[in-house]
Amino acid sequence: MPAVQETVARVREIDVDQYKYGFVTDIESDRAEKGLSEDTVRFISAKKGEPEWMLEWRLDAYRRWRTMVEPNWARVDYPPIAYDELYYYSAPKSTPGPKTLDEVDPELLRTYEKLGIPLREQEILAGVEQRRVAVDAVFDSVSVATTFKKELAQAGVIFCPISEAIREHPELVKKYLGSVVPTSDNFFATLNSAVFSDGSFVYVPKGVRCPMELSTYFRINEQNTGQFERTLIIADEGSFVSYLEGCTAPMRDENQLHAAVVELVAHDDAEIKYSTVQNWYPGDAEGKGGIYNFVTKRGDCRGKNSKISWTQVETGSAITWKYPSCILRGDGSRGEFYSIAISNGRQQVDSGTKMIHLGKNTTSKIISKGISAGRSQNTYRGLVSAHRKATNARNFTNCDSLLIGDECGAHTVPYLEAKTSTAVFEHEATTSKISDDQKFYCLQRGLSEEEAVALIVNGFVKDVLQQLPMEFAVEAQKLISISLEGSVG
Amino acid sequence: MLSIKNLHASIEDKPILRGLDLEVKPGEVHAIMGPNGSGKSTLSYVLAGKDDYEVTEGSATLDGQDLFALAADERAAAGLFLAFQYPLEIPGVATMTFLKAAVNAQRRARGEGDLPTPQFMKLVREKADGLGISTDMLKRGLNVGFSGGEKKRNEILQMALLEPKLCVLDETDSGLDIDALKVVSEGVNALRAQNRAFVVITHYQRLLDHITPDVVHVMAKGRIVRTGGPELAHELEARGYADYVGEAAA
Ligand SMILES: Nc1ncnc2c1ncn2[C@@H]1O[C@H](COP(=O)(O)OP(=O)(O)OP(=O)(O)O)[C@@H](O)[C@H]1O
Ligand SMILES: [Mg+2]
């Protein structure tokens, strides 16, 4: 869907949410104290009206988190995060939001313009105060969302905020939450487990092909879930679901630290396709104010012949730390990872994937395209491992980096571990640079420098773009050229 | 159409063009010949606006427009086309995609709308057929894995699609076999028109057998040192550049 529509959709969601639940949160009076303690966790759990077991689960994670240290092996560099200075629930604005668009980073506004986003929506995206505007859109969108919900319900698909699932479908949540990413998994995942705000829950029953792409278009509670989002998707035997996350319009957020967890479970013969376009605010030219994005995404191909594929277009954030992974447990299961990671300005990206082959005849494929421009650093970090019992494990990895300019960096860090001699891992990697001669050739044919770079870059990422659902791909393509603006000349 | 006066240009502070004058009228074909390293490619790059070259003196105008006041892409939109001696490869970008981007970029620069895709495809097919360029080649990455001759034909295809005012061909004949030479020459001849001019840089008479020039220039050490009719090319073929190298050095 075009950016404008996507934004309209987003604006609508905000109001759908209010309408549906009949409250407008008075942020000032409805928030946890600054910092993180058991009380904060209890507060969050109580606010969500959670059952006791959920609270215990969170507290367990919290206690564990207190004993952990932040990882520092990634090739990213940022000032220490003062965890006790953060708000963990309904974070109020630490500084008053901009009063008008005049106070917003002009670069951000320029991007909105390029995406063709109308003024009023720009205000909302940029977090200008008095954001509740699109009232006229409410009724319309409620009916749209209701239609979708009805159709999904008919198919037996459960798609709701995870907070709702905890109340309405405790047996499913209990069974699957933390079963892919254990609460003890890593520093950021553990933090998320203690304080996660909300996110999506999807359950596709046996043999059901989900009748539509599940996108953020009608996802509820979007506005409050940004910081510590938790998503759980379960595809039961023989089912299929395609889930789209993200938005092409850059979103500002008062919360600098983001630590999401996404868990996917695919049973026998089931398939999950998870696509992301990530475009968080990368910060101004100096890198100030950008989002730190520490994400744990993991899919468990639990059943035989199951399949999980991750497709991602990463263009935003000041820091991205993200390794969507597949555990290939079921015999004959398949994992795929298609990624475009773009860094510009002073962005730092450390991203990649892990393919853990446990079952027999499991296959995985990794196509990673990293583009670095400006003074950014872009690292691909990938692990492919085959367990002793994973006979005939197959992996194909293709990892290409493209450099634009002389001040950026691209790094490839592949880890390969095969404990069975029958495993076959293929790894291809290239690093190239857009040469001045190539650029001149394009200019001589009448292309502007920016058009030339966009053309070359689009050629470079084509294989991955093709993996995205059509409308998303078109949007992503536009987004890629915008992300690289200012990287030439 | 093209008017170059006392052009001096250098690269990395090394003077290459040293007082070059050239007048090309609409409809004319000028051949420039000269020894290796005399600055022929440099002239074409300077006209097209390549970054590394610095114009230290002199002027060049295209239909009265100061070329040096325009950026490279603006010069292209103003109607200047350069067929490269060594066409560049761009992996991942299908030739067809590139052609379309170029055609539409120039149309936009001239305030025209994009050419609708079906119309564009038809146009490309037509021109490509004439030059013996297959559909398969159009789908491949731009110039990637093309043979030397295929690259040159691809240059002519671009020229035909972009319909420039002034075409500068830098050794388009080198690397072509006899049949390809004919195909390419016919391509060029088909484009000859009242309002279009050509500057053909070449080392060999054989190209000029197919594309008959109106004027032949000899370039040496960054200058035009002699100008004559088509017969001058024959004379050069017979006698080489010895005379001119000496003359320019003096
Ligand atoms: N980047 C550069 N740095 C230094 N000298 C250069 C550079 N590029 C070209 N030159 C020099 O400029 C001179 C003119 O080169 P140019 O390519 O214009 O010659 P040419 O007449 O086209 O030769 P040929 O017939 O071999 O194609 C040569 O001496 C060449 O070495
Ligand atoms: Mg040359």
Question: Region B178-195: what's the mean pLDDT?
Answer: 91
Set of chain B residues whose Cβ sits within 8 Å of the Cβ of A367? none
Residue B40, ligand 1, Cβ within 6 A: yes
Give the HSE-up count for residue A174: Cα atoms under 13 Å, Cβ half-sphere: 12
Q: Which amino acid is at A204?
A: V
Nearest CA, atom 29, ligand 1:
B37
Q: Which of B84, B88, B106 to mutate to test binding with chain A, by most A CBs within 10 Å of its CB?
A: B88
Q: Does A428 touch chain B (CB under 8 A)?
A: no
Residue-level pLDDT at A146: 57
A–B interface: beta-carbon pairs under 8 A: 78
CA A314 vs CA A9, A115, A250, A297, A404: distances in Å: 21, 17, 12, 14, 17
Q: Which of A401, A441, A458 to mutate to test binding with chain B, by most B CBs within 10 Å of its CB?
A: A441
Segment B125-175, tens digit of pLDDT: 999 998 989 999 999 999 999 988 899 999 999 999 999 999 999 999 888
Q: Between chains, do B73 and A441 touch, taking CB under 8 Å as contact?
A: no
Nearest CA, atom 25, ligand 1:
B36
Nearest to B208 by CA among B190, B232, B224: B232
Question: Is residue B199 over pLDDT 60?
Answer: yes
Residue-level pLDDT at B246: 62
Residue-level pLDDT at A141: 39
Does residue A273 contact residue A244 with C-beta atoms inside 8 Å? no
To test the pocket of ligand 1, the residue of B17, B42, B168, B173 to mutate (highest count of ligand atoms within 8 Å of its CB) is B42
Q: Between chains, do B90 and A459 touch, taking CB under 8 Å as contact?
A: yes
Q: Name which of A437, A447, A462 is nearest B73 (Cβ-Cβ).
A: A447
Set of chain A residues whose Cβ sits within 8 Å of the Cβ of B105? 445-448, 451
Q: Which amino acid is at A443?
A: L
CA A442 vs CA A69, A96, A448, B71, B180: distances in Å: 50, 46, 8, 13, 25
Strand order across the beta sheet in which B223-228 lies: B80-83, B166-170, B197-201, B29-33, B215-220, B223-228
- Rg of chain A's alpha carbons, rounded to an integer? 22
Set of chain A residues whose Cβ sits within 8 Å of the Cβ of B87? 441
Q: How far is the CA of B203 from the centre of ligand 2 (A)?
A: 10
Set of chain B residues whose Cβ sits within 8 Å of the Cβ of A432? 91
To test the pocket of ligand 1, the residue of B12, B14, B17, B41 to mutate (highest count of ligand atoms within 8 Å of its CB) is B41
Residue-level pLDDT at A4: 38
Q: Does A194 touch chain B (CB under 8 A)?
A: no
Report the atom number in ligand 1 closest to the C-alpha of B171: 27
Residue B51, ligand 1, Cβ within 6 A: no
User: What is the DSSP annotation of A204-226?
Assistant: E-TT-B-SS-B-GGG-TTHHHHS
Nearest to A340 by CA among A139, A166, A160, A479: A479
The per-residue pLDDT string of chain A (489 residues; one tens digit each, 9 = 90 and over) reads: 343 344 334 433 333 322 222 222 333 335 566 788 899 899 889 888 899 999 999 999 999 999 999 888 888 888 888 888 777 775 434 345 566 666 666 666 666 566 555 555 556 555 554 433 222 222 333 444 556 777 888 999 998 888 889 999 999 999 999 999 999 999 999 999 999 987 889 999 999 999 888 864 333 223 434 578 899 999 999 999 999 887 655 555 556 788 999 999 999 999 999 998 877 777 776 767 778 888 999 999 999 999 999 999 988 778 888 899 999 999 999 999 999 998 888 888 889 999 999 999 999 999 999 999 888 889 999 999 999 999 999 999 999 999 988 888 999 999 999 999 999 999 999 999 988 999 999 999 999 988 898 889 988 998 898 888 776 777 787 778 777 776 654
Residue B34 has phi, psi (to 5 degrees) of 165, 160
Q: Between chains, do B94 and A459 touch, taking CB under 8 Å as contact?
A: yes
Question: Region B185-202: what's the mean pLDDT?
Answer: 93
Question: Region B182-204: what's the mean pLDDT?
Answer: 92
Q: How far is the CA of B33 from the centre of ligand 2 (A)?
A: 10
Is the CA virtual torsion B226, B232, B235, B236 positive or negative? positive
Q: Does A21 touch chain B (CB under 8 A)?
A: no
Structure token pair of residue A46: 């109580």
Structure token pair of residue A191: 């933090």
**CA-CA distance, A7 to A79, in Å (whole number)?**
33
Q: Which amino acid is at A150?
A: K
Q: Name which of A432, A441, A460 is nearest B88 (Cβ-Cβ).
A: A441
To test the pocket of ligand 1, the residue of B7, B16, B169 to mutate (highest count of ligand atoms within 8 Å of its CB) is B16
Q: Which has the higher per-residue pLDDT, A477 or B14?
A: B14
Nearest chain B CA: its distance from A460 CA (Å): 6
Question: Region B18-40: what's the mean pLDDT?
Answer: 95
The residues of B whose Cβ lies within 8 A of any Cβ of A are: 48-52, 71-73, 75-77, 81-82, 84, 87-94, 97-98, 101-102, 105-106, 109, 141, 158, 162
Nearest to B131 by CA among B77, B190, B79: B190
Segment B90-126, tens digit of pLDDT: 998 999 999 999 999 999 988 888 999 899 999 999 9
Nearest to A384 by CA among A368, A400, A401, A397: A397
Q: Between chains, do A459 and B105 touch, taking CB under 8 Å as contact?
A: no
Residue B13, ligand 1, Cβ within 6 A: no
To test the pocket of ligand 1, the residue of B8, B11, B46, B84 to mutate (highest count of ligand atoms within 8 Å of its CB) is B11
Nearest CA, atom 31, ligand 1:
B37
Residue-level pLDDT at B175: 83
Q: Name which of B88, B94, B102 is nearest A447 (Cβ-Cβ).
A: B102
**CA-CA distance, B151 to B153, in Å (whole number)?**
5
Task: Tell the burial category of A135 from Cβ atoms under 10 Å away from its Cβ (0-12, 13-18, 19+).
Answer: exposed
Residue B37, ligand 1, Cβ within 6 A: yes
Nearest chain B CA: its distance from A5 CA (Å): 24
Residue-level pLDDT at B218: 94
Which residues lie closer than 8 Å to B192 by C-beta, 6 or more apart? B27, B29, B198
Q: b/e map of B21-51 (b: 16 or more CB within 10 Å)?
A: ebebeeebbbbbbbbeebbbbbbbbbbbbbe
Structure token pair of residue A370: 């990293």
Report the atom number in ligand 1 closest to the C-alpha of B219: 21
Q: Name which of A438, A441, A448 is nearest B105 (Cβ-Cβ).
A: A448
Q: Between chains, do A449 and B97 touch, taking CB under 8 Å as contact?
A: no
Does residue A11 contact residue A121 with C-beta atoms inside 8 Å? yes
Set of chain B residues whose Cβ sits within 8 Å of the Cβ of A451? 101, 105
Structure token pair of residue A275: 């696509």
Residue B42, ligand 1, Cβ within 6 A: yes
